[in-house]
Amino acid sequence: MKTPRKILVVDDNDDIAEALVLLLKGSGYDADRAFSAEECMYKVEEEQPDLILLDIFLSGGDGREVCKKLRAQPETESLPIIIISAHPNMREPAIAAGADDFISKPFVVDDLLKKIENFLPARV
C-alpha cells in the first residue's frame, strides 16, 4: 500500500483552508493546515510535508517571507512550494521569493491538482 503524499495548506482563511484540505484528502493526499507563518514553520519541521500550498498574505506574516526562510534552510530548500493568492499580479513576487509555482484565487480545482501532480508524481 502506498503512503499518501503530505501537503501542508497554509492559509489564515478558515473556509479556504478547510476546503483545500478536504479537496486534497478526497484526491488521495494526506493534508494538514497551518494558520500562520509561525505554525507553518513548526509543522514543516514536525510533519515534513512533501509540498506546501502557501497563501501569500497571512495575518501576522507574509507567505513570501515564509518561502524565503524555507529556501534558506538545507532541510527545506528543495521542498516544493506553490504560493496562492487572490491577487494575480503577485506571480512575479512569489516566484522571486523562491516559490516553485503560483496559482491565483479563485482557481480551477483541476488546475491546482495538475500543478500539485507536477511536483508529486504518483508513487509506484
* Preceding amide of 4 cis, omega within 30: no
Residues written for the chain = 124
For 47-98, the pLDDT digits (tens) are 999 999 999 998 778 999 999 999 999 999 999 999 999 998 999 999 999 9
In a domain, 124, yes or no: no
- Say which CATH number the domain at 98 has: 3.40.50.2300
Quickly state the pLDDT bin for 121 (edges 50, 70, 90). Answer: confident
User: What 3-state class would DSSP assign to 77?
Assistant: coil
Q: Is residue 99 part of a domain?
A: yes
1 found inside a domain = no
Q: Is 98 left (phi over 0), alpha (psi -120 to 50) or beta?
A: left
In eight-state DSSP terms, residue 121 is P
Assess if residue 14 is contained within a domain: yes
Residue 55 lies in a domain: yes
The answer to whether the beta carbons of residues 30 and 6 sit under 8 Å apart is: yes
Three-class SS state of 67: helix
Whether this prediction's pTM lies above 0.75 is answered by yes
Q: What is the pLDDT of residue 122?
A: 63
Range of the domain at 61: 6-117
User: Structurally, how many domains does the chain consist of?
Assistant: 1
- Half-sphere exposure (Cβ direction) of 2: Cα atoms closer than 13 Å: 10
Closest CA to 68 of 41, 97, 33, 39: 97
Pairing of strands 61-62, 57-58: antiparallel
Give the Å distances, CA to CA, from 31 to 9, 57, 72, 98, 109.
7, 20, 24, 22, 16
Residue 36 lies in a domain: yes
